[in-house]
Amino acid sequence: MPLGPLSFASLAARIASPFIRLGRRIGQPIQRLTERLRRRISGLRGEEVAAQATALERIEQASARIAAARRDRVPDSIDIAPALTRQRRTFSWRFRVRVVDPELGEVVQQFVTVSTDRNLSLSEAESEARQIATVSPRIAGEDVVETEFVSVTRAAPEQLI
């Protein structure tokens, strides 16, 4: 089975995708996850579960290497893991941003995606994420408490929308 983007996978594999992500996050073994999902989702093949889990692991490992590198270094596109789904832009950076909501006075967490056709350094992508998080008229730049890098993926030309 070719490891193409998730959008070309079977319907059963697309339905199982959020559960595979959750299983990876909580550290469940692939064999056990496959057994459970195949009992609940008809038509799901073990190869598809293993391929998605492997792709998710590659994204996590590549993102960890990028996070450990210098913040001003632009990563080589080969070092960035391929995307699971189709994307509008070539590179997609995900950040967890915590901001102070002025109306509530408490810290609110949101995820921000920075999509671009040009490869960025981690610090450039983070500053873009901070700008996106402060687009709301209620939130000013000083309300951003923390920006945490989550992952980055790149799309192959056939994966662009």
pLDDT in tens, 9-28: 788 888 888 899 899 889 89
Q: What is the pTM of this model?
A: 0.80
pLDDT computed for residue 142 by the predictor: 62
Report domain 77-159's class.
alpha beta
pLDDT computed for residue 1 by the predictor: 36
Residue 148 Cα to chain centre, angstroms: 13
pLDDT computed for residue 35 by the predictor: 92
Does the pLDDT of residue 160 top 80, yes or no?
A: no
More confident residue, 122 or 11: 122
Mean pLDDT computed over 31-35? 91
Helix and strand numbers, DSSP H then E, in the chain:
4, 4
C-alpha closest to that of 66 among 153, 142, 127: 153
State whether the Cα torsion 153-95-66-29 is positive or negative: negative
Domain boundaries along the sequence of the chain: 6-68, 77-159
